[in-house]
Amino acid sequence: MTEDHLVSLGELDRFCREAFLAVGANAETADSATRAMMHGTTLGVDSHGVRLLPHYLTALEGGRLNKNPQPKKAGGFGAVEVWDADHAQGAVGTYRGMARAIELAGSFGIGAVGVRNGSHFGPAGAYAIKAARAGMIGITFCNSDSFVRLHDGAMRFHGTNPIAVAAPAPGQPWLLDMATSAIPYNRVQLYQSLGVTLPESVASDAQGIDTRDAHLADMLAPVGAEFGFKGAALAGVVEIFSAVLTGMRLSFDILPMGGPDMETPREMGSFVLAVNPDAFTPRSTFDAGMARYMNTLRNSPMREGCRVMAPGDREWLVADERRQNGVRLDPVTIAGFTDWADKLGLSLPGA
């Protein structure tokens, strides 16, 4: 397994599952965490793909993540439930939460679940798309440790606080999975190592002043450039739903993802919502509306030399290509996989 080799998605899935089980994680953790990461890697969201495996294994061994969590319903009222994830890897509680939200939306037209005592859950879109595959609109919010300044702020205040929304549509779902920061922090790290200049208005120095020098970048900017108050407010929506509503930690109170403390549970919240279109309008009307929206969008006039795509379209293209050809891993991930394969006695993922 080198940078020059393509690895098959099936082999990556196999390796992740074996590694989780080998460190003593239970079957649900291995399954949920692998599915979430494979959503990221399959769709080209590599920042939230299998590169996270070594991190999660370290957190399971350290005790930050519970190897044998027993998630349970901790409250609820009508179309709302609260689940306690028992300090599981983040995908465990959020997949459970979305499964319940979909069931609640079947009973009440809409269902919301707040998940307590979770942790980093990978790609937000992995959970929203569960709802779309079940014929519903899904929304996922989760805050994270602070990296992003406020508009005119000079402090790492919000996490990259993603918003994911998915809706059933002809062919593949409509899928939005966006950070409320302009860019992810790992892009800053990448540009540092490559010596590349950052785009304008995406990162700031320690005084909150925009910088294009990746080495001076201390925090990210909220999405929106000079209208960054909109991006910061959207991060606030995520904060209110995922942390305040669940009684979990605000971004600036969450232990840093990268440690050094890998023993203490991070007490993160997440929020999922499922909306059943059938409660609002005949399914044929909903489907016709989505079809007209998507078709008009994909065939609309575009800037010369550009291409207009619906949210998710780029991802489905990547997924098709990777399912056929496999995926090339980055050097850091290859090194991490190699270390853990040696330690756990596993065979590395093959072509």
Amino acid at 195: G
- Compare residues 292 and 343 and give the one whose CB is closer to a second copy: 292
Residue nearer to a second copy on the CB measure, 4 or 226: 226
CA 336 to CA 60: how far, in whole Å?
15
Tokens 């349970």, residue located: 72
Contact 122, 162 (CB under 8 A): no
Q: Which one, 183 or 327, has the nearer CB to a second copy?
A: 183
Rounded (10°) CA dihedral 245, 249, 253, 257: -130
**Nearest residue to 149 (alpha-carbon basis) of 224, 88, 243:** 224
The nearer residue to a second copy, 2 or 284, going by C-beta atoms, is 284
Of 56 and 191, CB closest to a second copy: 191
R_g of the chain, CA atoms, integer Å: 20
Of the two residues 70 and 285, which places its CB atom closer to a second copy in the complex? 285
Q: Report the nearest approach of a second copy to the CB of residue 328 (Å).
A: 24
Specify the residue, 59 or 235, whose C-beta has the smaller distance to a second copy: 235
Residues contacting 72, CB < 8 A, separation 6+: 83, 84, 86
Residue 142, C-beta contacts closer than 8 angstroms, at least 6 positions apart: 90, 94, 118, 121, 124, 161, 162, 238, 242, 268, 269, 270, 271
Q: 25 to each of 121, 225, 236, 300, how far by Cα in Å?
A: 16, 42, 33, 49
- Minimum gap (Å) between residue 39 Cβ and a second copy: 18
Question: What gap in Å lies between CA 151 and CA 143, rounded to an integer?
Answer: 18
Closer to a second copy by CB, 50 or 80: give it: 80
Residues 158-172 as b/e (b if ≥16 CB within 10 A, e otherwise) read bbbbbbbbbbbbeeb
E strand or H helix at 70: none
C-alpha atoms less than 13 angstroms from C-alpha of 183 in its C-beta half-sphere: 19
DSSP state of 249: -
Cβ pair 143, 268 in contact under 8 A? yes
